[in-house]
């Protein structure tokens, strides 16, 4: 085959170029290799997920067992547990806030996009590395710095930011309003600034790499859906994060320099503040202009990973590849024009509410298309339940359950009652929290062999999946009932109200389920770290997958392919093609090599393909003689 | 001692789990099942999906039916009936989709689990299907949106002229209520006028303010439109009256409003729920600080006649605290004095 000759040529030359003499620091710490940076993101993300999950267990203890004596937590929480052994209500709000911030930004944005965009984009498009390895490294270290600052804020005497993860002013602007709005909020803003810089650097890199560094033959119509998802995620992030930065900057001005962007007519702590003319609603508009696209920043990579995993393990092409891309594009565009559905009862003009209700329910259409396409991909497949596959099916289930409740909340008339109740909590934890989390876990199980050259244990993976899958539903499904009953969010306790003075049993159940689900994640952690060193050795292509990353050596070095980067001749989903011997045909196999399985229109492409190959060979030969 | 025992127990459990894990790994290596494309676990997982489908399905229906009266709060406003019916219509439609998709999602894994004898069907696309499931959801959603939009437009339309105005002001961590008094017009306010005795910041130089009065509970008449004028003094709050299906943020510097028609008096509701202690409540649904979970206010819905009587009996701010009238302009002071003498 002509590919072979292409591959041999220049191999030595190329190899030399990418041979780095790494020491410990450049290999593991200030690495510019996209694979190492991906692993750094992954491990950091796992740390934050563990911490974020632990914070949620703390406040679930309060909600499920309000009478409980929590003195045993004093070694960790110190003064936040009062003399009677109860959690401090201020700290409860800090826990809720930090749980949200950590999970949304550090785990599901950086941990998910950071890991898999970094790891898979060069490997799946056939590039040696990111467009700028240096910027990629800076991106990680800014994220790390941001994390350090946020982590320090947890230990402040006045507590970390406590105004909810959305940090609406005036609450977040005024120290008098809540202690967490003092130094804790300052650190939150500083940390987020670094975080935004980090994700912009990452995003620019992802976009540039996908546009410019695709290997020969890898047209946009041959990209795996993972890459499409990562690409569009980066585009969304690039357009929306700067707006969060603007919002945060104005908040900094209001907090520290006496401006009145968000503050007006405030009397607090026995004095009237001089600020007039500002609008708290302005902040909400700016925040949700990022905040809503952020939901898709979190979700799209997970959907991309799922598309790949489901197709591979169904041994079937993803159904409606083009429709999947179109719906991804649709979601990308629409994600920018639905933000105000978070603000139906914020006091903004009700006419605006009508507009955003229409736009919001439109975005349900591409989401529905994706679900139907996943189902059709499973239909008449030959399903192999790897742990990654199980988590992907779990994701689809969460995406349906949480997506459908979005139809309630996107309807402004119904939202009046449901807004800021546990119905919302149930909705977004399923559709964006758990779904994205499952996407991330699926990705880890699926690409672990490529990351570490070893396999994770499948049986432990099954146990991990079933406890987590059932657990997540047991945590979040009951919240719908509590939400319909009108229980408000971010409440330390509901016993002050007659209408909400019930469901103590259900809350206890939810908390118990949360603890079990959290505990089950340690099975994963064990499996992850144990398999990294002691797992079964991976084969070259353990899932018998079509995409390019499986054509690299089992443990690819910096530069990914030792020789020439392989060319791509077909789309990534030629599974179980009629006539083909195996049930998969990798993207690197030319159409001319598989006349038995080519479809009629592909047969015509063979001619073009052969011509191009011939031309290339001529060029090579003339180059060689020219030397 | 207990700590030690628990420690030993945990250690034991871990070592047993560890042993089982090692043994099963070794056994699978010996049997060579780790080389196979799909081991016996594949079938177990496929079956577990069915078990999950049936198990959680039963659990969901059982609990939803058993608890219906608990989570479905009785509704006590005109628009609440509309939004509730929208809610349950949406529930019916999404419920059907939820069931169908989940049945398929969990049956497919069982039905199409891996078999060496079979090959998956190569079925990359079908434009007709794609168009169908783009257009059908679009139409269904359009129906939902339009009915929601009609309801939303009615709810957010300007309040009728004859609406009874009540001002609700949120602050850390309670609500205060102000009625416009006999003239039915609320007096001006300015947050810079807030003092210990004038917690609303009412500008008593405004003649309309002189007969304004406050109340510890929100009293409103049944069957007549009521307009809540909502504001906040310090940070964001949100007025949430769950039985009225009413929610609106209280924003410092930007007054908001919500009007509605209560349909059941507190007494009627006590009868309906069989709870003699029943009260309509207002809660805060926008995080506002430590006391966010304790901002309770009671609404009392009474018959219109009773309301008129109660309204006439209330004493204005100035009547309760004549010192508020100090330093007013001569004209306003006169009005205030007339009112005081009426006492």
**DSSP assignments along B68-100, one per residue:** HHHHSPPP-BHHHHHHHHHHHHHHHHHHHHHHH
What number is the average pLDDT over the span A286-301?
A: 94
Residue A516: which of A465, A466, A464, A467 has the closest Cα?
A467
Q: Between A and B, how many residue pairs show a Cβ–Cβ distance under 8 A? A: 342
Chain mean position to CA A218: 25
Question: To probe the interface with B, which of A185, A382, A464 has the most B CB atoms within 10 Å?
Answer: A382
Q: % helix / strand / coil in chain A, to the nearest 5?
A: 65, 0, 30
Q: Quickly tell me which residue has 């230990």 as its tokens.
A: A155
pLDDT value of residue A454: 95
A359-406 pLDDT, tens per residue? Answer: 998 899 999 999 999 999 999 999 999 999 999 999 999 999 999 999
Residues A564 and A583 in one domain: yes
Rounded to an integer, what distance in angstroms lies between the CA atom of residue A406 and that of residue A423?
10
Q: Is A82 a domain residue? A: yes
Q: Is B16 a domain residue? A: no
Please say if the pLDDT value at position A20 is more than 70: no
**Please, are residues A192 and A146 in contact by the beta-carbon 8 Å criterion?**
yes
Rounded to an integer, what distance in angstroms lies between the CA atom of residue B206 and that of residue B231?
19
- For residue B194, give the nearest of A267, A281, A321 by CB distance: A267
CA distance B342 to chain A (A): 34
Residues A564 and A482 in one domain: no
Please say if the pLDDT value at position A19 is more than 60: no
Residues A184 and A213 in one domain: yes
pLDDT value of residue A470: 97
Contact A482 B201 (CB under 8 A): no
Q: How confident is the model at residue A1 (pLDDT cuts 50, 70, 90)?
A: very low
B257-281 pLDDT, tens per residue? Answer: 999 999 999 999 999 999 999 999 9
Asked, as a colleague might, if the bond just before A163 is cis with ω within 30 of 0, I would say no
> Helix A280-314 vs helix A435-452: angle between axes, to the nearest 10 degrees?
50
pLDDT value of residue A627: 53
In chain A, what residues touch B38 (CB-CB under 8 Å)?
384-385
pLDDT value of residue B342: 63
A324-367 pLDDT, tens per residue? Answer: 999 999 999 999 999 999 999 999 999 999 999 999 988 999 99
Q: How many structural domains is chain B composed of? A: 1
Rounded to an integer, what distance in angstroms lies between the CA atom of residue A207 and that of residue A193?
21
Q: Is B289 a domain residue? A: yes
pLDDT value of residue A5: 40
Number of Cα atoms under 13 Å in the Cβ half of residue A80: 24
Rounded to an integer, what distance in angstroms lies between the CA atom of residue A207 and that of residue A195?
18
Contact B141 A362 (CB under 8 A): yes
Contact A496 B296 (CB under 8 A): yes
A517-534 pLDDT, tens per residue? Answer: 999 999 999 999 999 999
> What percentage of chain A carries pLDDT values higher than 70?
96
DSSP-assigned letter for residue B163: P
**Please, are residues B42 and B114 in contact by the beta-carbon 8 Å criterion?**
yes
**Residue A397 domain boundaries:** 31-534
Tokens encoding A87: 């959690």
Residues A420 and A480 in one domain: yes
**Residue B302 in 3-state DSSP?**
strand
Q: Is B69 a domain residue? A: no
**Residue A262 in 3-state DSSP?**
coil
What number is the average pLDDT over the span A590-594?
A: 90
In chain B, what residues touch A358 (CB-CB under 8 Å)?
145, 149
pLDDT value of residue B217: 95
**Please, are residues A354 and B155 in contact by the beta-carbon 8 Å criterion?**
no
**Residue B220 domain boundaries:** 164-342
> What burial class does residue A553 get, using C-beta atoms within 10 Å of its C-beta: 0-12 exposed, 13-18 middle, 19+ buried?
exposed
Strand B297-302: give its sheet, edge to edge. B218-221, B297-302, B280-284, B237-241, B246-250
Residues A610 and A519 in one domain: no
What number is the average pLDDT over the span A150-179?
A: 94
pLDDT value of residue B22: 78
Q: Which of A19-23, B37-41, B189-193 has the lowest mean pLDDT?
A: A19-23
Tokens encoding A44: 């950091």
CA distance B216 to chain A (A): 17
pLDDT value of residue B219: 96
In chain A, what residues touch B31 (CB-CB under 8 Å)?
none
Q: Which of A104-113, A423-432, A559-568 has the lowest mean pLDDT?
A: A559-568
Q: Which residue of A has its CA nearest to B244?
A: A417
What number is the average pLDDT over the span B144-156?
A: 94
Number of Cα atoms under 13 Å in the Cβ half of residue A603: 6
pLDDT value of residue A12: 42
CA angle B30, B31, B36 (to 5 degrees): 120
Residues A20 and A87 in one domain: no
Number of Cα atoms under 13 Å in the Cβ half of residue A91: 21
Rounded to an integer, what distance in angstroms lies between the CA atom of residue A372 and that of residue B32?
37
Q: How many structural domains is chain A composed of? A: 2
Angstrom CA distances, A50 to A104, A111, A474, A536, stand at: 13, 12, 20, 26
Residue B232: which of B170, B182, B292 has the closest Cα?
B170
Q: Is B148 a domain residue? A: no
Mean predicted lDDT score pLDDT of chain B: 91
Q: How confident is the model at residue B158 (pLDDT cuts 50, 70, 90)?
A: very high
Q: How confident is the model at residue B301 (pLDDT cuts 50, 70, 90)?
A: very high
Angstrom CA distances, A179 to A90, A470, A524, stand at: 8, 38, 37
Q: Quickly tell me which residue has 């769950």 as its tokens.
A: B242
pLDDT value of residue B323: 85
Rounded to an integer, what distance in angstroms lies between the CA atom of residue A109 and that of residue A102?
10
- For residue B233, give the nearest of A267, A371, A421 by CB distance: A267
DSSP-assigned letter for residue B201: -
Residues A25 and A73 in one domain: no
Residues A11 and A144 in one domain: no
pLDDT value of residue B39: 76
Contact B45 A576 (CB under 8 A): no
Please say if the pLDDT value at position A24 is more than 90: no
Instruction: Annotate A547-564 with DSSP letters as a single string.
Output: SGGGGS-SS--TTS-SSS
- For residue A368, give the nearest of B98, B113, B133 by CB distance: B133
What number is the average pLDDT over the span A589-597?
A: 89
Please say if the pLDDT value at position A3 is more than 80: no
pLDDT value of residue A22: 72
**Residue B240 in 3-state DSSP?**
strand
Please say if the pLDDT value at position B143 is more than 80: yes
Please say if the pLDDT value at position A14 is more than 50: no
**Please, are residues A125 and A548 in contact by the beta-carbon 8 Å criterion?**
yes
Residues 6+ apart with CB under 8 A from B14: none
A501-515 pLDDT, tens per residue? Answer: 899 999 999 999 999
Q: Is B129 a domain residue? A: no
Residues A261 and A139 in one domain: yes
CA distance A402 to chain B (A): 10
A191-231 pLDDT, tens per residue? Answer: 999 999 999 999 999 999 999 999 999 999 999 999 999 99
Residue A497: which of B21, B285, B189 has the closest Cα?
B285
Rounded to an integer, what distance in angstroms lies between the CA atom of residue B145 and that of residue A482?
25
Q: Is A425 a domain residue? A: yes
In chain A, what residues touch B294 (CB-CB under 8 Å)?
496
CA angle A145, A147, A149 (to 5 degrees): 70
pLDDT value of residue A4: 41
- For residue B293, give the nearest of A272, A318, A496 by CB distance: A496
Q: Is B54 a domain residue? A: no
Q: Which of A354-358, B135-139, B152-156, B319-323 has the lowest mean pLDDT?
A: B319-323
**Please, are residues B253 and B190 in contact by the beta-carbon 8 Å criterion?**
no
In DSSP terms, which residues pair with B171 in a beta bridge?
Answer: B174
pLDDT value of residue A13: 45
Q: How confident is the model at residue B1 (pLDDT cuts 50, 70, 90)?
A: low
Residues A54 and A5 in one domain: no
Q: Is B202 a domain residue? A: yes
Please say if the pLDDT value at position A6 is more than 50: no
Tokens encoding A239: 């357009």
Q: Is A122 a domain residue? A: yes
Residues A297 and A204 in one domain: yes
pLDDT value of residue A558: 87
Contact A488 B34 (CB under 8 A): no
Q: How confident is the model at residue A17 (pLDDT cuts 50, 70, 90)?
A: very low
Contact A413 B63 (CB under 8 A): no
Q: How confident is the model at residue A2 (pLDDT cuts 50, 70, 90)?
A: very low
Residue A383: which of B71, B264, B43 has the closest Cα?
B43
What is the CATH classification number for the domain harbouring B192?
2.60.40.420
In DSSP terms, which residues pair with B8 in a beta bridge?
Answer: none
- ipTM exceeds 0.90, yes or no: yes
Instruction: Annotate A86-137 with DSSP letters as a single string.
Output: -B-HHHHHHHHHHHHHIIIIIIIIIIIIIHHHHHHHHHHHT-SS-S-HHHHH
Asked, as a colleague might, if the bond just before B173 is cis with ω within 30 of 0, I would say yes
What number is the average pLDDT over the span A262-272?
A: 93
pLDDT value of residue B343: 52
B303-339 pLDDT, tens per residue? Answer: 999 999 999 999 999 888 888 877 777 777 777 777 7
Q: Are strands B213-214 and B174-179 parallel, antiparallel or unpaired?
A: antiparallel
Rounded to an integer, what distance in angstroms lies between the CA atom of residue A580 and that of residue A547?
17
CA angle A5, A8, A11 (to 5 degrees): 150
H-helix or E-strand containing B175?
Answer: strand B174-179
Q: Is B329 a domain residue? A: yes
CA distance A368 to chain B (A): 7
What number is the average pLDDT over the span B118-136?
A: 90
Q: Which of A544-548, A579-583, A614-618, B307-311 has the lowest mean pLDDT?
A: A614-618
A258 Rama class: left (phi>0) / alpha (psi -120 to 50) / beta: left
Q: Is A91 a domain residue? A: yes
Rounded to an integer, what distance in angstroms lies between the CA atom of residue A497 and that of residue A477?
23
Q: Is A233 a domain residue? A: yes
Q: Which residues of A557-566 are buried (b: 16+ CB within 10 A; e: fewer)?
A: bbbbbebbbb
In DSSP terms, which residues pair with B170 in a beta bridge?
Answer: B175, B232
Residues 6+ apart with CB under 8 A from B70: A481, A485, A502, A503
> What percentage of chain A carries pLDDT values higher than 90?
83
Please say if the pLDDT value at position B33 is more than 70: no
> What burial class does residue B27 get, using C-beta atoms within 10 Å of its C-beta: 0-12 exposed, 13-18 middle, 19+ buried?
exposed
DSSP-assigned letter for residue B185: -
- What does R_g of chain B's alpha carbons equal in angstroms? 31
Residues A564 and A451 in one domain: no
Q: Quickly tell me which residue has 């306003």 as its tokens.
A: B332
Q: Is A339 a domain residue? A: yes
Residue B183 backbone phi and psi in degrees, to 5: -75, -5
pLDDT value of residue A10: 43
pLDDT value of residue A604: 85
In chain A, what residues touch B47 (CB-CB under 8 Å)?
none
Contact B254 A347 (CB under 8 A): yes
pLDDT value of residue B34: 62
Mean predicted lDDT score pLDDT of chain A: 92
Tokens encoding A154: 């947890």
């Amino acid at each position: 085959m002509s590919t072979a000759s292409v591959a041999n040529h220049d191999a030595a030359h190329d190899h030399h170029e990418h041979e780095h003499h790494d020491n410990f620091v450049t290999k593991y710490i200030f690495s510019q290799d996209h694979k190492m940076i991906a692993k750094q993101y992954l491990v950091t993300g796992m740390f934050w997920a563990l911490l974020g999950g632990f914070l949620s267990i703390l406040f679930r203890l309060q909600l499920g067992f309000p009478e409980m004596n929590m003195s045993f937590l004093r070694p960790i929480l110190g003064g936040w547990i009062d003399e009677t052994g109860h959690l401090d209500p201020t700290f409860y709000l800090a826990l809720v806030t930090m749980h949200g911030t950590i999970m949304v930004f550090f785990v599901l944005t950086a941990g998910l996009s950071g890991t898999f965009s970094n790891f898979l984009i060069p490997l799946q498009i056939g590039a040696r590395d990111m467009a700028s390895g240096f910027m990629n490294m800076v991106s990680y270290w800014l994220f790390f710095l941001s994390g350090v600052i946020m982590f320090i804020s947890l230990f402040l005497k006045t507590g970390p930011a406590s105004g909810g993860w959305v940090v609406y002013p005036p609450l977040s602007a005024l120290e008098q309003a809540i202690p967490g709005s003092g130094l804790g909020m300052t650190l939150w803003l500083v940390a987020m600034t670094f975080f935004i810089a980090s994700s912009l650097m990452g995003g620019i890199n992802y976009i540039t790499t996908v546009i410019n560094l695709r290997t020969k033959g890898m047209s946009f119509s041959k990209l795996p859906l993972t890459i499409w998802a990562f690409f569009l995620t980066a585009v969304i992030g690039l357009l929306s994060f700067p707006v969060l930065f603007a919002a945060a900057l104005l908040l900094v001005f209001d907090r520290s320099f006496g401006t009145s962007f968000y503050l007006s007519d405030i009397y607090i702590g026995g004095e009237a503040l001089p600020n007039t003319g500002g609008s708290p609603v302005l902040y909400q508009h700016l925040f949700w202009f990022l905040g809503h696209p952020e939901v898709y920043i979190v979700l799209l990579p997970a959907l991309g990973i799922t598309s790949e995993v489901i197709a591979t393990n169904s041994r079937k092409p993803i159904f409606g590849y083009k429709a999947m891309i179109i719906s991804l594009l649709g979601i990308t565009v629409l994600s920018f024009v639905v933000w105000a559905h978070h603000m139906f009862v914020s006091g903004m003009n009700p006419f605006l509410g009508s507009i955003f209700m229409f736009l919001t329910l439109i975005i349900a259409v591409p989401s529905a298309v994706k679900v139907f396409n996943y189902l059709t991909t499973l239909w008449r497949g030959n399903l192999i339940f790897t742990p990654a596959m199980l988590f992907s099916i779990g994701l689809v289930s969460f995406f349906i359950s949480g997506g459908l409740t979005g139809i309630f909340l996107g309807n402004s008339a119904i939202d009046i009652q449901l807004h800021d109740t546990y119905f919302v909590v149930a909705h977004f934890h399923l559709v964006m929290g758990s779904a994205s989390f499952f996407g991330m876990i699926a990705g880890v199980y699926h690409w672990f062999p490529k990351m570490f050259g070893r396999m994770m244990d499948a049986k432990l993976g099954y146990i991990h999946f079933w406890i987590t899958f059932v657990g997540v539903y047991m945590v979040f499904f009951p919240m719908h009932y509590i939400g319909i009953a009108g229980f408000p969010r971010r409440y330390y306790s509901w016993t002050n109200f007659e209408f909400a003075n019930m469901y103590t049993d259900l809350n206890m159940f939810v908390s118990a389920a949360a603890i079990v689900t959290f505990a089950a994640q340690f099975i994963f952690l064990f499996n992850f770290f144990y398999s990294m060193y002691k797992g079964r050795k991976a084969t070259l292509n353990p899932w018998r997958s079509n995409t390019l990353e499986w054509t690299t050596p089992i443990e690819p070095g910096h530069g990914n392919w030792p020789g020439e980067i392989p060319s791509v001749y077909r789309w990534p989903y030629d599974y179980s093609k009629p006539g083909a011997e195996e049930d998969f045909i990798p993207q690197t196999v030319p159409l001319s090599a598989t006349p038995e399985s080519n479809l009629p229109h592909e047969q015509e492409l063979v001619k073009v393909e052969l011509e191009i190959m011939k031309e290339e060979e001529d060029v090579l030969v003339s180059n060689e003689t020219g030397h | 001692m207990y700590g030690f025992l628990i420690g030993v127990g945990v250690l034991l459990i871990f070592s047993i789990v560890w042993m089982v894990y090692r043994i099963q790994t070794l056994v699978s290596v010996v049997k060579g099942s780790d080389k196979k494309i799909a081991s016996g676990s594949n079938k177990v997982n496929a079956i577990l999906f069915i078990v999950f489908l049936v198990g959680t399905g039963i659990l969901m229906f059982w609990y939803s039916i058993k608890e219906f009266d608990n989570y479905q709060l009785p509704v006590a406003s005109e628009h609440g009936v509309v939004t509730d019916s929208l809610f349950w219509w949406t529930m019916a439609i999404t419920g059907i989709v939820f069931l169908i998709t989940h049945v398929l999602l969990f049956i497919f894994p069982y039905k199409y689990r891996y078999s060496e004898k079979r090959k998956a069907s190569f079925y990359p696309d079908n434009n007709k299907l794609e168009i169908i499931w783009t257009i059908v959801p679009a139409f269904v959603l359009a129906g939902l949106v339009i009915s929601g939009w009609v309801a939303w437009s009615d709810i957010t339309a300007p309040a009728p002229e004859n609406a009874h105005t009540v001002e609700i002001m949120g602050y850390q961590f309670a609500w205060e209520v102000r009625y416009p008094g006999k003239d039915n017009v609320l007096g001006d306010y300015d947050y810079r006028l807030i003092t210990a005795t004038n917690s609303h910041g009412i500008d008593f130089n405004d003649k309309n303010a002189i007969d304004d009065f406050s109340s510890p509970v929100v009293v409103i008449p049944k069957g007549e439109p009521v307009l809540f004028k909502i504001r906040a003094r310090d940070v964001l709050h949100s007025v949430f009256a769950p039985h009225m299906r009413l929610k609106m943020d209280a924003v410092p510097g930007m007054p908001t409003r919500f009007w509605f028609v209560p349909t059941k008096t507190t007494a009627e509701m006590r009868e309906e729920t069989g709870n003699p202690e029943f009260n309509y409540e207002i809660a805060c649904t926008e995080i506002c600080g430590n006391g966010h979970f304790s901002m309770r206010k009671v609404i009392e819905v009474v018959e219109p006649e009773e309301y008129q009587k109660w309204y006439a009996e209330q004493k204005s701010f100035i009547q309760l605290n004549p010192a508020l009238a100090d330093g007013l302009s001569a004209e306003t002071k006169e009005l205030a004095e007339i009112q005081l003498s009426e006492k």
